[in-house]
Chains A and B, each alone.
Chain A
Amino acid sequence: MNIVVCVKQVPDTATERKLRSDDKTLDRDAADGVVNELDEYAVEEALRLKEAHGGEVTVLTMGPDKASDTIRKALAMGADKAVHLVDDALHGSDALGTSHALAQTLKKIGFDLVVLGSESTDARTGVLAAMLAERLNVPQLTFANKVEVNGSAIAIQRVTDYGYDKVEASLPAVVSVVEKINEPRYPSFKGIMAAKKKPVEKLGVADAEIDAAQVGLASSWSEVTDFAAAPPRAAGTIVKDEGDGGAKAADFLASKKFI
């Protein structure tokens, strides 16, 4: 089985994240880049599927040069090879643009199963799996906390508010996973050293036959017009109870139209 797992480099959630003042996109140089946490679960699931059914795992990432750290991490965990989609023309792509770029690349490199984390910690749109499936014209099985492959059939448990749905489809397909699905492995020293020798193919917009008019900041359907730091929380009003505390609380609630 030819499994492609999409990973994204995101700014470390433990550090302060910033937008750039010039084009109002995420400032990727302001914070350390780390693997999007949910993508580690996706890599782990891809590796487990490979270990159970054979085949190989390809890591696919789109991002600037420094996203190669993220590729290295996924390769160290045990993925076999990687494709790095890197091109200045891709900078600022929204979810639609990103899904176009990734779909084109996936068509080019081929796949039986695409595995993604269910969302990224920076953009948090959570729509990429669905968009990819649509663009690739294959079934989407999203928010999986369990994945089973049997021949060309795939079944997942899709997490819902009330429990889970069983969703079945046939390969090729796109799956997105939630963090309950597994416990991602830590790369071993051997894995880290082996990753050095694994092939990483770099592709640009032209190589992957991506329509440049559909990607990049200028083509984004969503636009950041302005941004500001969240204002510090104003100090609350302290009401001293002089026997009329209940009435004052009621007045406050009434002023906010709660009662």
Chain B
Amino acid sequence: MKFVLDAEQRLFGETLNKLLAGAGTPGAVRAWAAGDPEPGRALWRSLAEAGVFALAVPEAAGGAGPLPVELVTAFHELGRHAVPGPLAETVAAAELLARLGDGAGLGSGHEDFEDRASGHEDSEDRASGHEDSEDRASGGGSSGDHGGELAAAWLPRIAEGAAVVSLALPPAVPYALDADAADLVLVVDGDELRAAVPGTVRTSLDPARRLFSVEAGTAPVSGPAVRAAAGAAFDLGALACAAQLAGVGRRLLEVTVEYAGTRRQFGRPIGGFQAVKHQLADVLVALEYARPLVHGAALAYGSPDFSRDVSAAKAAASDAAYAAARTALQVHGAIGYTDEYDPSLWIRKARALRSAWGSPAAHRARVLSRLTGDRESAE
């Protein structure tokens, strides 16, 4: 299989890169962190105009999707420019609503959410994960109508960039990101999907990620279909986050290589020293390993292997971006942890995104359980 983007996908990525480079994105990130979402919302609107959010919204609901390969192409650029906001959350919410809008038709191999949730870092109750085959068999259940209304109301707005949606899928995604700046906050609790109101704000490793605990709202949709749709939403959110991480890592490598080429010590650029070169080369290798996993997972969308491939991609991209952040910090020296210096935006985002949408350990565990599960069923 060939994991190479075609000319249109490359042009789309380049276009987003230029758009974001020319839009004063670091300023929008800082404003966002300071509680002023307006520059970030403006950025959000131009991204929607470019077609980013439509990629996750079905054509029938005013979108162009689902187009997972284009989505990871876009999210790579969003990460590369440290774009703030509940990006993966909005895309995951679109997937959730689209599936609820469809009613049934959830048999594309997405694991049930409880199983996924058991992969959460702090959770060791993998063995007790519920088996929900009967729920899945029952299809849409009672959720169809409400879910359809919700989907019809919000999907077109997501596609056109008019709606910023935050989403919590506890326990794997326990907090609603940037809930104060979102037009809709959704929480899935088991079989129930609730619109929620933001509670207290929590401190994140990345100040531009404002995490909110959520307070129970109404329960407009419930039933087994919610659980299945939440599983699909988790997978797409984790994939988007993986692509974002790859972009964050790429940017950190770019700025660090540039810095190592200009910063001089002992009479020559520090990039000329082998020990520095090796560190940077290791980051490049990690990023290059993560890339085909991200693209491969996008291609697996809709197949029974999607969940497994997303986890492999998320684990690899997290490791690569984190390595990029550590190396960037070290190679930059003291300037690296300076708040006013732009690389700090990416360094902190890499660490925060690493644990968002499932930690690397949780995703590795899910890959393992999928692989051993496959072997058991083959025997």
Q: How far is the CA of A182 from the CA of B50 in the complex (A)?
A: 18
- B49–A192 CB distance below 8 A: no
Q: How far is the CA of A4 from the CA of B12 in the complex (A)?
A: 25
The verdict on B54 contacting chain A, using a C-beta distance below 8 Å, is yes
Closest B residue to A69 using CB positions: B7
The verdict on A166 contacting chain B, using a C-beta distance below 8 Å, is no
Contact mask for chain B residues 32-51; partner A; CB cutoff 8 A; 1 contact, 0 none: 00000000000000100111
- B19–A189 CB distance below 8 A: no
- B8–A188 CB distance below 8 A: no
The verdict on B11 contacting chain A, using a C-beta distance below 8 Å, is yes
Tell me the A165-195 residues at the B interface (CB within 8 Å): 186-190, 192-193, 195
Interface centre among A189, A192, A193 (most CB of B within 10 A): A189
- B64–A187 CB distance below 8 A: no
Q: B residues touching A (Cβ–Cβ < 8 Å)?
A: 7-8, 11-12, 15-16, 18-19, 46, 49-52, 54-55, 64, 70
Q: How far is the CB of B53 from chain A (nearest CB, A)?
A: 10
Q: A residues touching B (Cβ–Cβ < 8 Å)?
A: 69, 72-73, 76, 186-190, 192-193, 195-196
Known contacts A186-B15, A189-B12, then 6 further A-B pairs from the complex at CB < 8 Å, ordered by chain A residue? A69-B7, A72-B11, A186-B19, A187-B12, A189-B50, A189-B52
Q: Given contacts A76-B11, A196-B8, is CB(A189)–CB(B55) below 8 Å? A: yes
Q: Which of A186, A193, A196 contacts B18 (CB 8 A)?
A: A186
Residues of A contacting B50 in the complex (Cβ-Cβ under 8 angstroms): 186-189
- A193–B15 CB distance below 8 A: no
Q: Given contacts A186-B15, A186-B50, is CB(A192)–CB(B8) below 8 Å? A: yes
Q: How far is the CA of A150 from the CA of B233 in the complex (A)?
A: 53
Residues of B contacting A187 in the complex (Cβ-Cβ under 8 angstroms): 11-12, 15, 50
Q: How far is the CB of A44 from chain B (nearest CB, A)?
A: 14
Residues of A contacting B11 in the complex (Cβ-Cβ under 8 angstroms): 72-73, 76, 187, 192
Q: How far is the CA of A190 from the CA of B70 in the complex (A)?
A: 12
Residues of B contacting A188 in the complex (Cβ-Cβ under 8 angstroms): 49-51
Closest A residue to B74 using CB positions: A189
Q: How far is the CA of A195 from the CA of B16 in the complex (A)?
A: 17
Closest A residue to B48 using CB positions: A188
